[in-house]
Structure 1
Amino acid sequence: MNWLQNKNTAFKIGLLICIMSITLGGVGFIGHYYFQQAGISLNNLYTNDLIPIRDINQARSDSNALKSAVLAVTSYTLDNAINKQQLDQITVRENSIDKFIAGFQPLATTSYEGERLVKAKDLFKNLKDVIQKSVDLAQAGNKTEAMNYYYKNGFSQQEDFQSLLRDIGNFNIDEAKAQVNKDNSMIVRVQLVLVVLPIMAILIGALIGIIITRMIIGPLNMILKSVEQVADGDLNVDKLTIHSKDEVGLLATSFNAMIINLHSLVSKISNTADQLAASSEEIVATMEQNSLVSNQISASISEVANGSEQQVKALTETSATIEELSASIEEVASSGNIVANTASKTVQIAKEGNITITKAVEQMSIVGNSTELVQNAVNKLAVGFDKISEFINIITNISSQTNLLALNAAIEAARAGEHGRGFAVVAEEVRKLAELSQDSAVNIITQVQENRENIKDAGIAMSSAVSSVNDGVEVVNTAGKAFANIAGLIDEVSSQVNQIAAVVQQMASGSQYIVSSVLAIDTVSKETSNQTMNVSAAVEEQTASMDQIADNSRGLASLAEELRYAIEKFHV
């Protein structure tokens, strides 16, 4: 089943729908075909067998009545009214038999019927001549001669005529029985097909449905479990081993890549946060040291103002202190640049992580849409089963009408008495055929109902899959929001670092200015008092700058702690 596993979800569901549709379409087509054949067979049975049997029996009845009327005219002395009535009866019966012979010719489709019909026609023509001559003799008053002539020439011909009609009738009855046996065999085949095919359709549909459901739900549950671990902050999840090439397999591959990227990203952010915290602590320590140095400079300038005798010594101490301050400022500037570069890299890494999370959300949405398409296809298949039920109901109504027609035919045969016995047998067989057709239709309805239940179960499974995919999308969205918060915090840190860098640059400028001032004091001692005032102002400005740098460094340290706390949610 590897080839099926590598197909996309839409193909799998489409395959299930096609198999079920072809199977059910085959059941419907076979049922329709055989019921159509049954209708044709019934029509042929009625047209080619039942109608001829009816007409033959009527002709035999006319022949017997004709014989009785001729015997009455030639053997008995009748009054004029009865004699005329018997003569009319002879004419009516002869015309009826002539009409039968003319009408039966199109129905005599076999050589057997055709040969006997020709013989019967010739025989009846001669019989009419004998009857006419016998009647003429009787009407002339020669009843004994008329009776003897009829007995001698008409009886044997009339018996032969009856025998031919009986042979044709028996032939049609045998044909009807053969057709009924053929229809019964066909019904057995139809029953077998209509029972076996639905069972096969149910088994095949259930098997493929279970296979496809496991192919979809199993990997999705594995992915959902891993996504829940990531949502809880555990990035040490096992690699998903789903090798299918469908949407679920692609999702698993993307998820594995996302975990690798997240693991690397969180590790880099954690290391950067540690470096940032360490750099912030170094900046705070440096600023405290610079503050002490500034206080020393302030004290030195006070001593310069108190006495010029200590000017040289104070200038020497001030020069050394300023050199130390300049070195410290350069160190702070270097550390600030390192922190700024590190913060910029951290922002870029966080943005890449956010892009990875966004791609994962889009992939989960694609899987959700595919699963919804599968559920719509299953719903359409359920609608198709309802239409098949309507067709089966139409077939059941046709069977009921056929049963009713067979019952009416049996009633008519009962009215015909002995002559309708053969017709009654055929009507009974037709009724049985209709009942078997109706039972088969009921079986088909039962199988269709079972199929509808299976499709309903498949629809529930698809709804569960949609819910699982939506949960996965929600979990990945939560991870995306967390990365967005991390990116915001890193942007804040970057801003603070830039402020620190600006202040350090300002402090470096101030230290250079102080060095220049001290050198000027050393060369021009007369301007000591004015330079002392300038140095005092510069020291105050430098102290304020150092305080600002210290405050910013503490804020930077606080942000580094927040970043470390956020990263601790993820277990690398």
Structure 2
Amino acid sequence: MTPVILGATSVCSLFGVAGLSTTTLTLGGVQVALAAGAAVWQHRRAATLQAELEAAQAAGQELSLARDEALENLCVAVLPVWSEQIEAARAHTEQEIVSLTSRFAELAGRIENVAGNDQGGGDRLVNLMAASQNQLDGILQSLREALSSKGALLNEVNGLASLTEQLKSMAKDVGDVARQTNLLALNAAIEAARAGEAGRGFAVVADEVRKLSTLSGDTGQKIGETVETVNGAIARTLELSQRHAERDTGTLNQSGETIEQVIGAFGGTTREVVERSDALAENASAVGGAIAEVLVALQFQDRVSQMLGHVRDDQARLERLVAERRALAASGQALPPLDTKAWLAELARTYTMAEQVAVHHGKRAAAPAESDITFF
């Protein structure tokens, strides 16, 4: 600092301030030196803060890259398993659809043979079905009318619900009036006690009590009228219900008679067809067997549904994980490490079929045996 002070003294001499004391010049030099030192310190501090900021940004970028790398590793491990599971389900579906097509083609051929063996019986069955269709249409129309009656009854019930709400509101008004009446009566007693013989304030309170009593009477009358309305609605509802019950009884009786006629006609025609053609029974047995095989083959849908459901659930689990990690990152919290093996193990625990386990471990899924089929 001494050179700075000497420099300041020389400057003062040049500008004609030699008459100033040495102490004054020394203090001026100290001030100049302090100002220069502060400027240097501020410059160094700014440089230090800039370096710390750049280091923090670099650390944040490295942390972001680490997060992305962990999530990428999980996706790289899990997504191929999902793809293989979906592919196995697709292949299983394709295989079973081809099989079903072949079985249905065979079934159609057998039915065609049955129709050719007894053309006359087939024509009668067609005519009978047409007549039965007309009769069943009439039954359906009756049922539609019955449903319409139920709709009217429901509307009445809805009306009752609104009236009930009014009763609740009126009951609340009555309760409020009662509370106010009690308060006014209490005030009247207090006022009368204070006034003694005069009791002038009691007249005002008594008047208010009478007003509230009148209001209570009006409210009670309204409640009575509403109750009468509700009773009328209930009576109408009961009347409609009775009519509806009588109509349903008639409809059911008529439907029973019609169904008996239809069943009788079907039974007679069927017996006639069976008696006229021995081949019909044999073909019917074959058709029944083919249908049973088709029903068994249709169980593939359950297997496919389970496989795709597990993949869907795991995808949803991954979506939740991504959302949670994004929330943690947005709040500046540290992200927990991802355990890929634990994730895959948890996915494997959801499997219910051997094909899923095989695909999970990188093996090709074998075709399911027919004995493995379970009806649900």
Instruction: With the length of structure 2 as denominator, give the TM-score of the two structures.
Output: 0.36
Q: In proportion to residue count, which structure has more helix? A: 1
